[in-house]
Structure 1
Amino acid sequence: MNGMHGRRRPAGRGWNMVMSRMRTSSLLGALSAGVLLVCGCGGDSDEEAFSGQKADDIAARAVTATEKASSVHMKGTAQANGSSTVELDIRVDDQGNCTGTISGDGGRAELLRSEGGDVLIKGDRAFWTNSARASGGDVKRGERLAGKLAGKWVAAPADGPDAAFCDKKRFLASMDQDKTERQGLKRGETTEVDGEDALTLEKDQEGSHISMQVATEGEPYILKAATKGSEDSSVTFDDYGEKVTVQQPPRSEIVDASDTQS
């Protein structure tokens, strides 16, 4: 490992997915529930990995390291309500830049944000139809919304719920709201994650088995984790410290968020 600027391998976590709709505001809560449930780091073997430190203490250090990273790439999938699969692929930094996609239930949307400005969302017809339905709208309203906004960039306020995925600090903080979720961990085996040595921490909780591998060299960043149970999930965190490049669309191609209410 070369610290924050050298990691390019997948790094990830499991989470318990509870998705009620396709908008980013709902996806945030769904994905964040348990994403930082377990984390840790160490050396080339279980004994060398933070020798003498308890798993929970290592977990706390790993959370801190991840939060302090200047940027990160988050990618993963999760099963919602035992059936629907949600996918996330987002790059975000602490300068307010963000780019990526979210998809699920047949819909897909691109996200981008430049230097802390409005979050721009470009969803397909299924995304906006799902959004209207989840917000309590009927089929006709969903069709009208999709017809008006599909394929266009829609501006969402930077402090609004739809901006959650593109706010690194806010997103990571939401993952770690319940500190008890990363307590009671046990050390597992030392393994490899895409060619990098990793230490496994794991626990059983509420009928699910949660496992995670973390880097044993360089910063104690989260590498890979999964939840196996009624709702399987897996997410990777990588490219820590790498530049997030955003190509802002012309103003003429951006629709105001108020148009989503009509």
Structure 2
Amino acid sequence: MKHVIRGRRAAVAAAGAAALLALTACGGDDEGDGGEASGGPAQADAVKAMRTVTSVHAAGEMILVADPVTIDVQVDDKGNCVGSASGDEGAVEFVMQGDTAWVKPDAAYLESEYMYDDAVIAEVEGSYLEEAKADAQSALVDLCKLDTYVEQTNSVVSFSPGMTQKEQTKHEGVAVVPYVNEDPSTSDGASMKIAADGKPYPVTITDPEGAEVDLAFSAFGKPVKAEAPAADSVLTEEQLSDIRLEAM
């Protein structure tokens, strides 16, 4: 989970920044996709709607640099973010508010990403590490940007712009219009489901080979409660520095 988010292929220019790989679909449908249909929201409508969103909840599995990770993130356009990411290199919870970040890594993450030895890990594990957002790991900062999820949606449409529209159905109780890539020359499991009522937000986006992303979106425009952790669970940079010096 180091430095930047990227997929296994470079995203096309229209996709903007790096795309992400998901290994499993996020949630099931209440009904089948049905046959082909017309009318309703288009793929481009989902991209436009995503560009206007003020907050979102994103959940699923993706590639964070070279590692498969599971994420669950709530983020808004005011710099508030709360979430988690876990994978082979460990797990981390994080809260970001304004210019401040609080990061709570587990022992495996402290060892693999922070390179801490056992003595430091024993003192640090279970605490939130407080730091300026500008100094936080860029991969985690990227997870806390709305633009990341706009770019993911745009990437799916860029790689598979001609998906076949299916009959309206439901995804976890939400009415959606499904789109599926049925082109035998390019089909790689790409699909997306767009909200049928209200703004045409993307409810799911999936593209395992092209844009390399598979996420579920919800809570569009809902407040993000990114509260600072309790003071007794936080280690400041100065306190962390003291712990590291004592362990030498």
TM-score, scaled to structure 2: 0.69
Instruction: State the partner residue of 1:29.
Output: 6
Q: Are 1:92 and 2:83 an aligned pair?
A: no
Alignment of 1:248 with 2:228, yes or no, is yes
Deviation, 1:224, is 1.9
- Bigger Cα displacement from structure 2, 123-132 vs 71-80: 71-80
Looking at both structures, which has the greater relative contact order when contacts are Cα pairs under 8 Å and sequence separation is at least 6? 1
For residue 129 of structure 2, the aligned residue among 146, 150, 154 is 154
The gaps in structure 2 that reach 5 residues or longer are 9-17, 22-35
Aligned to 1:74: 58
What letter corresponds to residue 56 of structure 2 in structure 1? V
For 2:61 and 2:129, the matched residues in 1 are separated by 25
SS in 2 for 1:87: strand
SS at the partner of 1:208? coil
After TM superposition, give the deviation of residue 228 of structure 1 in Å: 5.2
| Counterpart contact for 1:131–1:142, Cα < 8 Å | no
Q: Secondary structure at the match of 1:99?
A: strand
What does the per-residue CA deviation read over 1:68-117, in whole Å, with 9 as the maximum and x for residues that have no partner? 111111111247899x7521001111111111111111621111012x22
Paired with 1:30 and 1:143, the residues of 2 have a C-alpha distance of 32
Distance 1:173 1:155, change over 3 A: farther
The 3 A distance-change label for structure 1 pair 81 and 70 is closer
Q: How many residues align?
A: 212
Displacement after TM superposition at 1:245 (Å): 0.9
- 2-side partners of 1:127 and 1:75: how far apart? 20
210 and 145 in structure 1: CA distance in 2 versus 1, 3 angstrom threshold: farther
Match of 1:175 in 2: 152
TM-score (norm 1): 0.65
- Runs of 4+ aligned residues of structure 1 deviating over 6 Å after TM superposition are 79-82
Q: Kindly indicate whether the alpha-carbon contact (under 8 Å) linking 2:99 and 2:134 is maintained by their aligned counterparts in 1.
A: no
Larger deviation: 63-72 or 243-252?
243-252
**Could you tell me which of 88, 107, 111 is aligned with 1:125?**
107
Q: Percent identity?
A: 21
Q: Which runs of 5+ in 1 are unaligned?
A: 1-21, 36-44, 51-57
Amino acid at match of 2:222: E
Q: How does 1:1-262 map to 2 (within 5 A)?
A: 22-23=1-2, 25-26=3-4, 28-30=5-7, 33=19, 46-50=37-41, 58-78=42-62, 85-105=68-88, 107-114=90-97, 116-132=98-114, 141=116, 143=118, 146-147=121-122, 149-159=124-134, 161=138, 162-169=140-147, 171-175=148-152, 180-203=158-181, 208-227=188-207, 234-250=214-230, 253-256=234-237
Whole-Å Cα distance in 1 between the matches of residues 128 and 7 of structure 2? 24
- Provide the rounded CA distance (Å) in 2 between the counterparts of 1:194 and 1:176: 20
> Is residue 6–residue 63 contact of structure 2 (8 Å, CA) maintained in 1?
no
- Going from structure 1 to structure 2, the CA distance change for 1:117 and 1:61 (only over 3 Å counts) comes to same
Q: 2:30 is matched with which residue?
A: none
Alpha carbons 1:130, 1:142 under 8 Å: kept = no
SS at match of 2:223: coil
Verify the 8 A CA contact 2:55 2:220 in the aligned structure 1.
Answer: yes
Q: State the alpha-carbon separation in 1 of the partners of residues 153 and 134 from structure 2.
A: 20
